Amino acid sequence: MDSRHDRIRHHPTAGPGNSLADWTRARNPLRVAISYVAVWLIRISPSLRLKRWLLRRLGAAVGPGVSWGLEATPDVFWPDLITVEREAIVGYDATILCHEFLQDEYRTGEVVIGERAMIGAGAIVLPGVEIGANARVAANSLVTRDVPPGTTVAGVPAEPVGSSAADDASAESAGDSGADDSEPGDDETDPGDVGVGSADGTDV
């Protein structure tokens, strides 16, 4: 089974310095400037419709019903390598990266966020990662590898902590029993509580 590293493309640095110092050889500066302005609007706009339209204009594949949170940032250099499938949520201040500038090379890779997946607030997704349908990424996590469908991941780097199906079943069971098993002062985090943020924009 392919991993993100199998999907990454390696591009040797053309100039004498590091790849970031030579970024104008990697990407057209005018294109990046236009992309930067569009990304700024995507970050601050409260309109989900406008966000989806701008993302598509940048070349991203964005399905119907996608919710893109306030301050969430798509890759500025290669936004066309992003796919967000229908009804997925990218939470407040999350970052989707499709490139890495390193010393001797730069790398690019497509990022795919599956149907109804949720990316928590402040999470970072690295190039080449595929996040499966109904998967959940907890807030402030760093996603360095693929997330299988229905799986919840958390941490730096993000590791599996449960499945969305199991979380939903557990919640239903607790609701049916009417009992609260938590002890006073118990602050354990629910793996299903990914924290996408409340300021995710409104559809206008």
Question: Collapsing DSSP states into helix, strand and coil, what is residue 67?
Answer: strand
Question: Could you tell me the two tokens for 53?
Answer: 């339209």
pTM attached to this predicted model: 0.79
d(CA 144, CA 161): 15
d(CA 128, CA 31): 22
| Within a domain: 151 | yes
Question: Collapsing DSSP states into helix, strand and coil, what is residue 89?
Answer: strand
Q: Residue 173, Cβ neighbours under 10 Å: how many? A: 9
| Within a domain: 50 | yes
User: What percent of the chain clears pLDDT 90, i.e. is strictly above it?
Assistant: 65
Residue 142 clears pLDDT 60, i.e. is over it: yes
Element (H, E) at 91: none
Q: Dump pLDDT digits (tens) for 150-193.
A: 999 999 999 999 765 555 544 344 344 333 444 434 444 444 45
| Within a domain: 192 | no
Domain holding 51, by residue range, is 8-174
| Within a domain: 191 | no
Supply the mean pLDDT for the chain.
85
| Within a domain: 35 | yes
Question: Could you tell me the two tokens for 154?
Answer: 């958390």
**CATH assignment at residue 14:** 2.160.10.10
Domain total of the chain: 1
Write down how long the chain is.
Answer: 204
| Within a domain: 52 | yes
| Within a domain: 193 | no
Provide the sign of the torsion angle of the four alpha carbons 167, 169, 174, 178, taken in this order.
Answer: positive
